[in-house]
Homo-oligomer: A and B are copies of this chain.
Amino acid sequence: MASHGGQTPEKNKIGGLSRIQEKNRNLILDAALGEFSKLGYSGATVERIAAEAGMSKSNLLYYFSSKGAIYTAALAHILDVWLAPLKTLDPEGDPAQELSDYIRQKIEISAENPQASRLFANEVMQGAPQILPILETDLKRLVSEKSKVIRSWIAAGKIREVDPVHLIFTIWATTQHYADFSIQIKALTGKDLSDEDFKLETEQAVISLILTGIGLAVPGEPVHPK
C-alpha cells in the first residue's frame, strides 16, 4: 500500500509514516494551528498555512487532501491535550489540593497554548461541527465521572454543597477566558498570561475565589477578613 523512498517498505517509518511525512505533517499542523486560531476556519487560507509551514500549497495538499482535512487534523491534534487535565482529579485526594492543581494546570496549559485554546473555542462557538460527537460521548462521560467525585466530597462534608457541573463550567470558563480574551485582559491590566508574575497572580486569584466559593479555606489566606 504505502512504501517509501525505494522498493521495499518496512523501514524509516514512525507509525506508518516516513520521516519526511512525519516532519511535514507536523510542520503543517503547527502552521495550521496558528492560522486557524488567528483567523478562524474561513479566514485562514491554504496558501498561508503552506507558506508558514515552508512549502508550496501543492505540497501541502499532497499531505492533506483538503482544507477541511487540515482543520480536522489540527483539532484532533490538540483535543487530547485540551481535555486531559480533568482526568487527573483524584477522588482519594484532598479536595483543596486536587482542585487547586486542576485550576493551576488549566491556567498553565492555557498560557502555554493560547492558540489551541482559541482554536477550540472557535470550534465550539460555531456549533462544534467537528467535535460535537466527542463532546457528547467522551467529554460527557468524563464530566459525569468527575461530577461523581465532587459529589462524594460533598457527601463526605469536605466541601460545600454546590452543583458539580456548574463548578466545572466555572473553572473552564475562567481559565479559558484568560487565554482567549488575552487582548482584553492586556488592554485592561497591561499584562497577560505570558507574564509570569501575572500568571501566578491569576492562578492565586482564581483558586482563592473558587476554593472559598465551595467552602474551603485557602492556604496562606486569613479565614475571616472581618
Contact = CB atoms under 8 A, between A and B. Distances in A.
B225 A140 contact: no
A25 to B, nearest CB: 25
Tell me if A's interface is mostly helix, strand, loop or mixed.
helix
Interface residues of A, number: 59
Interface in A105-146: 118, 121-122, 124-128, 132, 135-136, 139-140, 143
Interface in A179-226: 180-181, 183-185, 187-189, 201-202, 205-206, 208-210, 212-215, 225-226
A180 B181 CA distance: 13
Given A38-B126, A40-B126, A225-B161, A132 B166 contact: no
Given A41-B43, A212-B213, A128 B187 contact: yes
A24 to B, nearest CB: 26
Contacts of A209: 162, 166-167, 170, 210, 213-214
Nearest to A161: B225
A48 interface: no
A214 B226 CA distance: 12
A216 to B, nearest CB: 10
Interface string A34-77: 00001111110000000000000000000000000000000000
Nearest to A215: B225
Interface string A171-185: 011101110110111
B124 A188 contact: no
A42 to B, nearest CB: 4
Interface of A: 38-43, 118, 121-122, 124-128, 132, 135-136, 139-140, 143, 154, 157, 159-163, 165-167, 169-170, 172-174, 176-178, 180-181, 183-185, 187-189, 201-202, 205-206, 208-210, 212-215, 225-226
